[in-house]
């Protein structure tokens, strides 16, 4: 479906839980302040109903995210169910990678198309400082196991001044011998991201050009997102930049986001959302015999969220950011 700025919306991010096994300092350093009881989190059946309605509107690409999606029981089988919905072309996942090795066989069995793993440092102590947990070895083994199994993989790194910014070249070197893309995501002023400053990709990109004079723009399509990619001679993978703060990629925005509590967000930076709960849990739509009506009502609300997409985000005007949820509640 197209929105009112004629953008084709074919991608949805589904946050399946707001729980996480890490405590990243820019995301949820102290855990969840607003503890959402499990009964308020969408069940897999409810998520699948939303997915059916979205697919009927031409949404073909699904990202499973969280919190940490792999901490929710049976996440791999949920991915398998998503894959079976007519019209769904691609199901990918964003994960911190801690449980990747353990769940990899089930993820592969269920047809996961690709995974994005978040990794901000290669130093074990620093990993513990950034994420609150000593899990770097588990994440690194998850990455290597997934690559060995042939799963398409991208790394997402958020650099912070005075924390890990000087590690950019080490992180980048992971793409030298491994078939993976590494993307640098600018820290966004969402949730605890407001307490820190980003490292601007503009600066990174110019440093990269100086360091690698043979750098070339990589025009191939690498995924669903707003990253721009570059190729470094001799590297197997590419380097991507997701410049949320100043690189206004909103003209090609293709997405909506569903929170784990059933709120459909037209844009990351604004707090408004279309609530799907009245349909998913409303008396008049309950039961197998009402499935058709339920999906039709969900379609209507998804259309509404798409039609409410603003022309662009407002990250560069801090006072206009109205999103108050933390990133773990939104799914990134
Ligand atoms: N737990 C999974 C993970 O870490 O990949 C999925 C959810 S996490 C919220 C998705 C992505 O959002 C991660 O790559 C994380 O680094 C990123 N993220 C969290 N808070 C952010 C912020 N304030 N600005 C930019 N990226 C952020
Ligand atoms: Fe968890 Fe991902 Fe947030 Fe880190 S960024 S606390 S891994 S949800």
Distances (CA, A) of 43 to 17, 35, 119, 248, 295: 10, 17, 29, 35, 16
pLDDT of amino acid 320:
84
pLDDT of amino acid 239:
95
Question: Pick the residue with more confidence: 59 or 245?
Answer: 59
Q: Which of 312, 226, 329 is nearest to 269 (CA)?
A: 312
**Number of the ligand 2 atom closest to the C-alpha atom of 94:** 2
The ligand whose atoms approach the alpha carbon of 330 most closely is 1
Average pLDDT value for residue range 40-54: 97
pLDDT of amino acid 245:
76
pLDDT tens-digit series, residues 135-153: 999 999 999 999 999 999 9
CA dist., res. 132 & res. 144, Å (int): 23
pLDDT tens-digit series, residues 88-123: 999 999 999 999 999 999 999 999 999 999 999 999
pLDDT of amino acid 319:
82
The token pair that represents 183 in the structure block: 């993307």
Pocket test for ligand 2, best of 36, 63, 99, 118 (most atoms within 8 A of CB): 118
Topology of domain 11-330 in CATH is TIM Barrel (3.20.20)
pLDDT of amino acid 235:
96
Average pLDDT, the chain: 93
Cβ of 331 closer than 6 Å to ligand 2, yes or no, is no
Distance 181 CA to ligand 2 centre (A): 20
**Number of the ligand 1 atom closest to the C-alpha atom of 15:** 7
Pocket test for ligand 1, best of 95, 118, 153 (most atoms within 8 A of CB): 118
Helix-strand-coil split of the chain, %, nearest 5: 40, 15, 45
Q: What is the DSSP string of 13-53?
A: EEE--S--S---TTT-BTB-SSPPPGGGSPPHHHHHHHHHH
Q: How many residues does the chain have?
A: 332
pLDDT tens-digit series, residues 222-276: 777 778 899 999 999 999 998 877 767 888 899 999 999 999 999 998 999 999 9
Please tell me the residue having the least CA distance from ligand 2 atom 4: 24
Distances (CA, A) of 55 to 2, 47, 163, 296: 14, 12, 41, 12
- The percentage of the chain sitting over the pLDDT mark of 90, rounded to a whole number, equals 77
Answer whether 125's CB lies under 8 Å from 96's CB: no
- Provide the 8-state DSSP code for 199: P
**Number of the ligand 1 atom closest to the C-alpha atom of 330:** 9
- Provide the 8-state DSSP code for 57: T
CA dist., res. 160 & res. 199, Å (int): 6
Ramachandran category for residue 91: left, alpha or beta (phi over 0 → left; psi -120 to 50 → alpha): beta
pLDDT of amino acid 46:
97
pLDDT tens-digit series, residues 14-28: 999 999 999 999 998
Residue 306, SS3?
helix
**Number of the ligand 1 atom closest to the C-alpha atom of 68:** 1
- Judged against a pLDDT cut of 70, whether residue 33 lies above it is answered with no
pLDDT of amino acid 36:
85
CA dist., res. 231 & res. 237, Å (int): 7
- Judged against a pLDDT cut of 90, whether residue 194 lies above it is answered with no
CA dist., res. 182 & res. 153, Å (int): 9
pLDDT tens-digit series, residues 61-89: 999 999 999 999 999 999 999 999 999 99
Domain ranges of the chain: 11-330
pLDDT tens-digit series, residues 304-322: 999 999 998 888 888 888 8
CA dist., res. 258 & res. 275, Å (int): 9
């Amino acid at each position: 479906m197209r929105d009112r700025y004629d953008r084709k919306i074919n991608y949805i991010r589904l946050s399946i839980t707001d729980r996480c096994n890490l405590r990243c300092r820019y995301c949820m350093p102290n855990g969840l302040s607003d503890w959402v009881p499990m009964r308020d989190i969408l069940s897999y059946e409810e998520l699948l109903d939303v997915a059916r309605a979205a697919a009927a509107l031409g949404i073909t690409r699904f990202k499973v995210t969280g919190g940490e999606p792999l901490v929710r029981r049976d996440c791999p089988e949920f991915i398998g169910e998503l894959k079976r919905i007519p019209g769904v072309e691609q199901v990918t996942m964003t994960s911190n990678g801690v449980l990747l090795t353990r769940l990899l066989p089930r993820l592969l069995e269920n047809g996961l198309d690709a995974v994005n793993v978040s990794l901000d440092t290669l130093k074990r102590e620093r990993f513990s400082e950034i994420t609150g947990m000593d899990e770097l070895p588990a994440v690194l083994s998850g990455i290597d196991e997934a690559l060995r199994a042939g799963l398409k993989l991208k790394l997402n790194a958020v650099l912070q001044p005075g924390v890990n910014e000087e590690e950019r070249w080490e992180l980048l070197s992971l793409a030298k011998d491994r078939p993976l893309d590494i993307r640098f995501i600018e820290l966004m002023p969402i949730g605890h991201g407001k307490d820190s400053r980003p490292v601007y990709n503009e600066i990174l990109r110019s440093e990269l050009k100086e360091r690698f004079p043979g750098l070339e723009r990589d025009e191939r399509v690498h995924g669903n997102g707003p990253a721009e990619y570059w190729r470094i001679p001799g590297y197997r993978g590419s380097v991507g930049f997701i410049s949320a703060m100043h690189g206004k990629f909103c003209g090609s925005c293709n997405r909506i986001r569903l929170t784990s509590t059933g709120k459909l967000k037209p844009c990351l930076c604004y707090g408004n959302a279309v609530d799907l709960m009245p349909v998913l849990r409303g008396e008049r739509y309950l039961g197998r015999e009402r499935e058709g009506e339920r999906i039709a009502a969900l379609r209507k609300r998804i259309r509404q969220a798409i039609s409410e997409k603003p022309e662009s985000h407002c990250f560069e005007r801090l006072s206009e950011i109205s999103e108050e949820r933390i990133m773990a509640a939104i799914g990134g």
